[in-house]
Structure 1
Amino acid sequence: MKKILVIIAVSVGIGCPAQTSNRAHSQDRDTQSLKDLFEGKFYIGTAMNRRQITGENQVAVDLITNQFNSITPENVMKSERIQPREGEFTFELADAFVEFGEKNGMHIVGHTLIWHSQAPDWFFTDEQGNDISPEVLKQRMETHIKTLVGRYKGRVHGWDVVNEAVLDDGSYRNSKFYQILGEEFIHLAFQFAREADPEAALYYNDYSMSNPGKRGGVVRMVRALHQKGIQIDGIGMQGHIGMKYPSLDEFEKSIITFADLGVNVMITELDLSVLPSPGNDGGAEITNTEAYHEKLNPYTQGLPDEVNAAFTERYLDFFNLFLKHSDKISRVTTWGAADSQSWKNNWPVRGRTDYPLLFDREYQPKRIVKALAE
């Protein structure tokens, strides 16, 4: 979901592939891979960035192929990258991403077809810069979705069709899509995607999904789709979590509530921040940023033992919850493979050192991976 910003190297050291290759290949062979650990429960996936898709970061590629069996592109399929100017599609990186998944026998997720963020300005305006009519927006949506989904028909297994259209209070986000088309834009997006590939699974994806207000809004949205005869196959619960948020109980309520709608539940974009929050707990709105202060970046030299222990325990709590509901959950995807890749190093405060993923900056499994195996 999130736009990846430039990662700032800090004193913990962000190893380059050449320096870390031997370490990455010397991972503890007594530790089962994640994809083996969760076989028969759910897919375990990760998001891939450009350098991984192109093979420039071979150490990360080795980690992904060894540990994961599902992949999602961080940015290369978003509309501003795929169609930066009307009618000019740029498929090179998206093609490479799909080919990577096919070569390695992976479950492939396309991300994302319709999102208010990282969309090119032309999508909503005419040559004079005025908002386009509903008819024109419908046509542009149909062309974009059918061109992208149609290109990978039968190859991409599932699509995040609409991303982040509901606010925490359950109302619809006042995006350009909503301003011009109202909630119909959601119905049309799923309709166009289904027409382009009738066999692909179609998902709605959003953050703060344990929030009761948002939970209710998503339920109403899915029911409205069903009433119109529009199929939705899954709901992605973005797992941008912290040490104190969200509540496990509320997260579990959302898993159960969404599953009761007759759709698969997926845990998407999973990462666990250990850093102090500047005040936007639980959200993932990329426009909500804060200025850098040293007190908000306390672990530049690595995590203290007690923080590392708490981090491991918190992750275990969530994975225990996922396993408890593995009959409802089809996939768990971390938003990045190793800490150096994570968007959390630069959001909501740019230039911090965070440790949100299951593998460290040297591509080694953290204590949590061994704890999961045990």
Structure 2
Amino acid sequence: MRINQIRRIAAAGVVSAIALSGAFGVGTAAAVDYTLPSLWQSYKDDFTMGTFGNWNSQQALYHYRANSIPNNLKLDSQIGTSATNSLSRQAYVAKVAQINADATLTADQKAAAIEDANQQIVLQPTTGNGQAEQILQSIQAYNATLPADQKKVVRGHVFAWHGGQQPNWFFTNGFYYDAAHPDWASPQTMLKRLDNYIHAMTNKYAKYSDVIVAWDVVNESVDDYTGQIRNADDAQVGQWGRIFRRPDLDGDPDARLTAESAWVRQAFESARKWENAAGVHWKLYYNDYQDSNKLYEPKESQTIKLLKPIHAAGNIDGYGMQGRLAWAYPTIDMLRKQIDAGLTVADEISITESDIRSDFEPNPDYDPSQPTRRVTEADGADPSHQWPTYGSCSWTNRAAANGNTFDVCNSPVRRIPAWGTASNDTLANSPDIMRKQADFAADWMDLLLSYKGKVALYDWDGTSDSSTFNRTTGGHLWSGLSGNPEKYSFFAVIGAPAREKLRDAIARVDTLVPATYATDAWQKVTAARDAAKALVSTRIYSIDGVNAVKSATAALTDAIGAYEATTADGTVGGAVPATLSLTLGAAAAFPPFVPGVENDYTATTTATVLSTAGDATLSVSDPGFLTNGAFALSDPLRVAFSRSAWTAPVTNDPVAVTFRQHIGATQPLRTGSYSKTLTFTLSTTTP
């Protein structure tokens, strides 16, 4: 038998806080309320909260533990802003001069040596003020003042990117770009150049592995509309796609994606190879986004298709979802599906560059049967295709709001007409809009918290509505107004883990044994549970709402007490003798047989089966024929059971036994009784 020993011990609540002490490199920021809970401390048991932006303002130090340095680790910051100041160009020119001056080399040898020089990368020094190494060294110095569980961490961003911060001359032979006659490097040259660049970057930044925990290996490589690699024909030009473009495969989208993404696979292969060689263990990420005014397909499916061979090769750890979201779109279910898809090609998820736009609303003109597309000049020539009269697009205003609000036609959302084309602090901070943003934020955080152990990091873009990428959209947790007050969404976000703890406490009640409590103590538990249930789904818009949830959790936890159960094993038993028992009911009797009339007669009785064996079978001897003295019937007696086999022990299982006898019209019948004695057997092969 199992004996439960139940005991309770007193519990004391513990409150922890992070102190902001004077530290190396700490900057200043607009005053926020530092009596409120720290954002990253609120999520320290779930995932790391960080920012894509300034790391050392007081606000960033208090609320964010992680930082993705936005631009300082990108290509242009590492190789120079122009060919004239590029050490790679200078090294190439010097090497070519040396090769050409070497009279011992043949023409072929010189060509091979020049091509090798064309593939080499020399990184610029980055220890100056505001440069990457200076920032990382400052973080190391700051971390030296902190306990291990509070040290800042960094996500490296990024080895290979589509954007304008990868200068054209990096993609040309000799690291020199002639706009009139560009001499683009071959795909083979660029694959070697990419490998050498990642090798150099890994060697350079390996000494910061105590700070850098992950790298975006490739960022934003897939076009928002086609699901193919961005290239020179896209509005957002992709230089890698320019080099690897395969027009001959336009009729085969899968083959085209595979061919044009060769550089993506190379980047991950190189990153894994060189991090292993350097003895560092960075998490390697693919990072991309889908704006909240564009459809998620085909880009999402194509991105997963792109990453499958990289995952199969073991070269990717994380799937980065840039959180360009809005309360109006996408839906939480869409985000759940994207997370699930990402986890098929990576072991963990991070949300990066996140905001939750307040300026969108559902588009009344959205036609789901038609694709989302870019706004064109033709739309500008059609007055009916202008925002706000027509849905989402506006050729006239396409560059407004950071260029990503009006450049999409047939979007599921549109900018709220009253918002205008620029910032609208009044609407962004109105109670109705803030509630909508906060409710979405709460549901979004609930979703992420449900992926326990799979979400590694959440990066907010900047520190306020006025200090973020989408500066006109009201997308942040802080308003950016005087004093930078928190919006409702801040409290919704810090309230999510508090509500999760409350849900856990409610669920714990179901594991308790009421009999181990005194009557009044159990009533206290159920009352606290009912109060918690009434509160757990309540929306949170203020610190009072957060504190109410925490108080309900504390009250329920206190009512439960420090409930512990230990177990000890004891033994009790009894023996069962082998038993096979078959009990028959009263003798079966047919109704009187009528001479000269053909008929089928039926008689029944019962059998009761009891067996302790592993199986049992009920059978009957050969029924033969009913007889009356020397006279026998012509047709045989038939016997049937309602059940005749058992595969487990059985106790007093009733069985119907049916007898059938056919009498023909010419059957001679003798006066008297016809009968037959039968033997019924209950047997087993596993006693």
TM-score past 0.5 threshold: yes
Contact 1:123 1:140 in 2 (8 A): no
1:176 counterpart letter in structure 2 = Q
2:422 pairs, out of 281, 290, 297, with 297
- Local SS of the residue matching 2:315: coil
Contact 2:70 2:157 in 1 (8 A): yes
C-alpha distance in structure 2 between counterparts of 1:107 and 1:320, whole Å: 24
C-alpha distance in structure 2 between counterparts of 1:254 and 1:226, whole Å: 17
C-alpha distance in structure 2 between counterparts of 1:100 and 1:360, whole Å: 28
2:341 pairs, out of 257, 277, 281, with 257
Cα offset for 1:140?
2.4
Cα offset for 1:217?
1.4
Instruction: Please list every run of 5 or more consecutive structure 2 residues that lacks an aligned counterpart in the other structure.
Output: 1-26, 89-121, 144-150, 232-237, 245-259, 362-386, 394-401, 408-416, 496-545, 547-687
Contact 2:316 2:346 in 1 (8 A): no
Distance 1:48 1:97, change over 3 A: farther
2:227 pairs, out of 132, 153, 170, with 170
TM-score by length of 2: 0.45
Distance 1:109 1:123, change over 3 A: same
Contact 1:187 1:225 in 2 (8 A): yes
2:183 counterpart letter in structure 1 = N
Cα offset for 1:296?
2.4
C-alpha distance in structure 1 between counterparts of 2:139 and 2:321, whole Å: 23
Contact 1:275 1:296 in 2 (8 A): no
- Local SS of the residue matching 1:45: strand
Cα offset for 1:288?
5.2
Cα offset for 1:322?
1.1
C-alpha distance in structure 1 between counterparts of 2:314 and 2:345, whole Å: 13
- Local SS of the residue matching 1:143: helix
Cα offset for 1:305?
1.7
1:366 aligns with 2:487: yes
1:242 aligns with 2:319: no
1:164 counterpart letter in structure 2 = E
Cα offset for 1:28?
4.8
2:284 counterpart letter in structure 1 = L
Hey, what does 2:261 align to over in structure 1?
A: 183
Alignment of 1:136-215 (within 5 A): 136-153=189-206, 154-155=209-210, 156-168=212-224, 169-174=226-231, 175-181=238-244, 182-198=260-276, 199-208=281-290, 211-215=296-300
Structure with higher Rg: it is 2
1:69 aligns with 2:65: yes
1:62 counterpart letter in structure 2 = Q
Alignment of 1:329-348 (within 5 A): 329-345=455-471
- Local SS of the residue matching 1:71: strand
C-alpha distance in structure 2 between counterparts of 1:272 and 1:215, whole Å: 20
1:44 pairs, out of 49, 63, 73, with 49
Hey, what does 1:89 align to over in structure 2?
A: 124
Hey, what does 2:38 align to over in structure 1?
A: 33
1:146 counterpart letter in structure 2 = H
C-alpha distance in structure 1 between counterparts of 2:156 and 2:263, whole Å: 19
C-alpha distance in structure 2 between counterparts of 1:367 and 1:288, whole Å: 25
Q: What is the CA deviation profile of residues 85-116 of structure 1, one whole-angstrom value per residue up to 9, with x for unaligned ones?
A: 33352413111332344333122100111011
Cα offset for 1:238?
0.7
1:220 counterpart letter in structure 2 = K
1:134 aligns with 2:187: yes
- Local SS of the residue matching 1:327: coil
C-alpha distance in structure 2 between counterparts of 1:184 and 1:298, whole Å: 41
Q: What is the CA deviation profile of residues 215-235 of structure 1, one whole-angstrom value per residue up to 9, with x for unaligned ones?
A: 2212212211134x2410001
1:219 pairs, out of 298, 304, 317, with 304
C-alpha distance in structure 1 between counterparts of 2:74 and 2:50, whole Å: 19
C-alpha distance in structure 1 between counterparts of 2:425 and 2:490, whole Å: 22
C-alpha distance in structure 2 between counterparts of 1:124 and 1:160, whole Å: 20
Hey, what does 1:4 align to over in structure 2?
A: none
1:337 counterpart letter in structure 2 = T
Distance 1:212 1:258, change over 3 A: same
Q: What is the CA deviation profile of residues 131-180 of structure 1, one whole-angstrom value per residue up to 9, with x for unaligned ones?
A: 11223212321232222232111242100000111234433223331342
- Local SS of the residue matching 1:246: coil
Runs of 4 or more, structure 1, over 6 Å off, are none
Distance 1:289 1:146, change over 3 A: farther
C-alpha distance in structure 1 between counterparts of 2:478 and 2:406, whole Å: 26
Cα offset for 1:304?
1.6
- Local SS of the residue matching 1:271: strand
Hey, what does 2:605 align to over in structure 1?
A: none
1:271 pairs, out of 355, 364, 377, with 355
C-alpha distance in structure 1 between counterparts of 2:470 and 2:443, whole Å: 21
The number of residues matched between the two structures is 332
1:120 aligns with 2:167: yes
Cα offset for 1:186?
0.7
Distance 1:158 1:241, change over 3 A: same
2:424 counterpart letter in structure 1 = Y
Contact 2:311 2:345 in 1 (8 A): no
Cα offset for 1:203?
0.2
C-alpha distance in structure 1 between counterparts of 2:155 and 2:52, whole Å: 9
Distance 1:299 1:226, change over 3 A: closer
1:315 aligns with 2:315: no
1:98 pairs, out of 129, 132, 136, with 136
Distance 1:305 1:256, change over 3 A: same
Q: What is the CA deviation profile of residues 287-327 of structure 1, one whole-angstrom value per residue up to 9, with x for unaligned ones?
A: 75759x97223624462221122121121121111112233
- Local SS of the residue matching 1:157: strand
Distance 1:276 1:180, change over 3 A: same
- Local SS of the residue matching 1:272: strand
- Local SS of the residue matching 2:298: helix
Contact 2:319 2:345 in 1 (8 A): no
C-alpha distance in structure 1 between counterparts of 2:334 and 2:357, whole Å: 19
2:307 counterpart letter in structure 1 = V
Instruction: Note the aligned Cα RMSD (angstroms).
Output: 2.8
Contact 1:275 1:297 in 2 (8 A): no
- Local SS of the residue matching 1:231: coil
1:357 aligns with 2:476: yes
Instruction: Please list every run of 5 or more consecutive structure 1 residues that lacks an aligned counterpart in the other structure.
Output: 1-16, 54-60, 281-285, 346-351
TM-score by length of 1: 0.80
2:421 counterpart letter in structure 1 = L
C-alpha distance in structure 2 between counterparts of 1:363 and 1:197, whole Å: 41
- Local SS of the residue matching 1:170: coil
